[in-house]
């Protein structure tokens, strides 16, 4: 649903809204999880996953749209690789260290809020290209109609 909304609405604004929610939700989630109530824990996780979808679903298209069609793979690949290493490898280790050192969820929430602020700062200068931007770079192959599988590259300026 989040991907479809980003197609119709605006990926950048959706990403910014998701990042803002990430900055706030840990301060609500951790007390819910700490309450000992299974129902509150489930509700907290469900809301967290919904917030995650606001970021994750439009991410591929948003990142790719920051580059011209010719440079998309080269431009977006390092972003995904670095994000996977930093977010997927470092964060769990840091969370374990913070929880072990402080014995509280507050440093974890502050870390998540900090990453959300970094995300917002990184997304703000991003562009909002039109969803049909590739149309200027492609033309239908002869006799192909408008089938996306039969498009051929046309040099810019033609």
The answer to whether residue 151 scores a pLDDT higher than 60 is no
Residue 100's pLDDT band (cuts 50, 70, 90): very high
Same domain, 122 and 138: no
Q: What is the DSSP letter of 146?
A: T
3-33 pLDDT tens trace: 778 778 888 888 898 999 999 999 999 999 9
Helices H / strands E in the chain, number of each: 6, 2
Same domain, 61 and 96: yes
Same domain, 112 and 150: no
Beta strands in the chain (DSSP E): 138-140, 151-153
Token duo for residue 130: 């039109």
Same domain, 140 and 76: no
Same domain, 97 and 135: no
The answer to whether residue 137 scores a pLDDT higher than 70 is no
- Residue 126: its pLDDT value, please? 79
Same domain, 99 and 22: yes
Same domain, 43 and 117: yes
The answer to whether residue 146 scores a pLDDT higher than 80 is no
Same domain, 8 and 83: yes
Q: How many CA atoms lie within 13 A of 15 on its CB side?
A: 24
Token duo for residue 144: 């192909």
Q: Give SS3 for 67.
A: coil
What is the number of domains present in the chain? Answer: 2
74-98 pLDDT tens trace: 888 888 788 888 778 888 899 999 9
Same domain, 122 and 149: no
Q: What is the DSSP letter of 51?
A: H
Same domain, 20 and 55: yes
Token duo for residue 80: 């995904």
Q: How far apart are CA 12 and CA 2, in angstroms?
A: 12
Q: Please report where in the chains the tokens 């011209």 appear, as a residue.
A: 68
Task: Please give the biggest Cα pair distance in the chain.
Answer: 68
More confident site: 124 or 88: 124
Same domain, 39 and 115: yes
SS3 content of the chain, % helix, strand, coil (to 5): 75, 5, 20
8 conformational bin, left if phi > 0, alpha if psi -120 to 50, beta if neither: alpha
Same domain, 11 and 81: yes
What range defines the domain where residue 83 resides?
2-127
């Amino acid at each position: 649903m989040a991907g479809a909304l980003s197609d119709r609405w605006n990926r950048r604004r959706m990403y910014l809204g998701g990042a803002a929610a990430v900055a706030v939700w840990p301060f609500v989630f951790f007390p819910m999880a700490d309450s000992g109530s299974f129902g509150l824990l489930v509700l907290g996780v469900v809301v967290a996953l919904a917030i995650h979808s606001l970021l994750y679903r439009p991410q591929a298209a948003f990142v790719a749209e920051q580059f011209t069609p010719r440079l998309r793979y080269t431009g977006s690949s390092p972003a995904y690789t670095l994000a996977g290493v930093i977010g997927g490898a470092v964060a769990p280790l840091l969370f374990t260290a913070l929880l072990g050192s402080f014995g509280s969820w507050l440093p974890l929430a502050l870390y998540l809020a900090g990453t959300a602020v970094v995300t917002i700062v990184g997304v703000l200068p991003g562009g909002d290209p039109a969803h049909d931007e590739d149309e200027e770079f492609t033309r239908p192959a002869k006799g192909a109609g408008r089938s996306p599988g039969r498009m051929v590259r046309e040099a810019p300026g033609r």
